[in-house]
Amino acid sequence: MAEILQKDGMWTFDGDTIRIVPGRERGVHVMRQTVGELAVPLVAVAGIAFEPGRKSGRLRLRLRDGADPLSQVTRGRLADVADPYQLVVESDRSGVAEYFVDEVRNALLLEQVPAGPTDRYLLPGPAVPLSVGAGDGTVAFDGERVRLEWNWTTEESKSSAGPQELPLAQIASVEWLPSAGLENGYLRFTVTGAQPKLSPKHDPYAVELFGFKKDPLMALAASAVTVRMPHPYAPVAPVAEPAAPALAPGGKEAAAPVPAGSQDADHDALLRRLRELGELHHAGVLTEEEFSAAKQAVLKRF
The tens digit of pLDDT for each residue in 137-151 reads 999 999 999 999 999
Q: Calculate the average pLDDT of the chain.
A: 87
Residue 215, pLDDT above cutoff 70:
yes
Q: Flag whether the pTM goes above 0.85.
A: no
Residue 258, pLDDT above cutoff 50:
no
Distance CA 33, CA 236 (A): 37
Mean pLDDT of 33-44: 95
pLDDT in tens, 10-26: 999 999 999 999 998 88
CB 24 within 8 A of CB 33: yes
Distance CA 63, CA 198 (A): 33
pLDDT at 292: 74
Distance CA 49, CA 69 (A): 21
pLDDT at 302: 57
pLDDT > 70 in the chain, percent: 84
3-class state of residue 77 by DSSP: coil
pLDDT in tens, 114-123: 989 999 999 9
Backbone dihedral angles phi then psi of residue 125, each to the nearest 5 degrees: 80, 175
Q: What residues contact residue 67 under an 8 Å CB cut-off, 6+ apart?
A: 44, 46, 118, 121, 122, 123
CB 244 within 8 A of CB 237: no
pLDDT confidence tier of residue 251, bands split at 50, 70 and 90: low
DSSP alpha helix (H) spans, 24-177: 30-35, 69-74, 94-111, 156-159
Residues in the chain: 302
| Residue burial 151-182, b: 16+ Cβ < 10 Å; e: rest | eeebeeebbeeeebebeeebbbbbbbbbbeee
